[in-house]
Structure 1
């Protein structure tokens, strides 16, 4: 099993550093300022890439000294830095799992770009292997089928978000069940909750994102 972790340049306050450090010995790719963030916390990425417009000259020089593969991208390009990093992870490492940190929070347009990215043609085969992780959420992506969802530590809330038109979405054993839901527009069944440690869902057309969340403001039961 090859796990590749991407640290992209989102707000540091959204990055779960405790989780990152638990995986520090795995493969890492640093994207834009995410590369400097990794070095600051004792993690040397295998590759770094980005336009580095938020990296000062001293930090850039340090990156070049420490990391063997530094790829400086033009500011004007047809892909986001996160898309480039995900493409790089696939082409170089052929991973079984891609975890993306620093890809949420801050600008909404960048969040939406990351949320919709797994549905693009070049990433579609990896859709179920891409995960977004921040301090309060994990996001997984699913193609049609029947699935079990295992409750993560701390997480209480569970959302089922159809990112495309969806047919036949069933939530049989969540706190708020759903039977044979169809929609022609994106829709978020938010603030559902686990019943027990494992819940299930199924659907037969579309793409569904499943979000497990921790409410840091109000806490969890």
Structure 2
């Protein structure tokens, strides 16, 4: 398994409390995320972006500390996070990417980080991605039967069809569904595990699963 962490530009107060201890898995950083990692004592394997949010002295610090810098023009169609995911999957052949800093702050950034996983170039890899913050863990799933394990400290589980979905079935959560079709995005929030794992299935579409706590 080739696993990477990715830090993007969301506010630090939404990071998990133990982010600074996540040093065993190599890091990719998008833009200012690289500088924030250095301040935590973590040197990213790769920093990528236009770095337009950095002062000249900050950029020089990155160039001195990070051996692999990937530069993009500021006026571009892709976000720095998208560039980082392309790098992770196409060049580094990542089997799992955990994204930190993708939530909190501006709502347009949150929705952009979520909806980008529905792009045709990322959709085949979407099940390899997890968005993680202080309260939430979000993953996307493609059609099939899936069993998820309750993560430590997470009390709630939510199911959100992001596209039209057919045959959504929740087998063993507190609130169940049986073979339901939905023509548009919808959220089923505040469900709960009844055991340490939960199984669900659907035939078409994309479903987000969010584990969270208050």
Q: Output aligned runs, 1:36-47, within 5 Å.
A: 36-47=35-46
Deviations 1:60-112 (A, max 9, x none): 11100011111232222111111111111112210110111001111111111
Task: Give the paired residue count.
Answer: 214
**2:187 aligns to what SS in structure 1?**
strand
> 1:126 maps to what in 2?
125
> 1:144 maps to what in 2?
143
Matched, 1:177 2:176: yes
**2:122 aligns to what SS in structure 1?**
helix
Separation (CA, whole Å) in 2 of partners of 1:33 and 1:140 = 24
Q: Output aligned runs, 1:31-180, within 5 Å.
A: 31-180=30-179
> 1:219 maps to what in 2?
none
Separation (CA, whole Å) in 2 of partners of 1:34 and 1:146 = 35
**1:121 aligns to what SS in structure 2?**
coil
Once the two structures are TM-superposed, the CA of residue 25 in structure 1 deviates from its matched residue by: 2.4
Computed over aligned residues only, the root mean square deviation of the Cα atoms, in angstroms, reads: 1.1
Separation (CA, whole Å) in 1 of partners of 2:184 and 2:59 = 44
Once the two structures are TM-superposed, the CA of residue 158 in structure 1 deviates from its matched residue by: 0.6
Change (3 A) 1:17 1:72: farther
**1:132 aligns to what SS in structure 2?**
strand
Once the two structures are TM-superposed, the CA of residue 173 in structure 1 deviates from its matched residue by: 0.9
Q: State the TM-score, normalizing by the size of structure 1.
A: 0.93
Deviations 1:29-86 (A, max 9, x none): 1111111110001111111112223222222111000111112322221111111111
**1:122 aligns to what SS in structure 2?**
coil
> 2:193 maps to what in 1?
194
Deviations 1:103-122 (A, max 9, x none): 11111111111111122111
Separation (CA, whole Å) in 1 of partners of 2:21 and 2:149 = 20
Structure 1 segments of 4+ aligned residues over 3 angstroms from their partners: none
Gaps of 5+ in 2: none
Deviations 1:120-156 (A, max 9, x none): 1111221110110110001111001111111011101
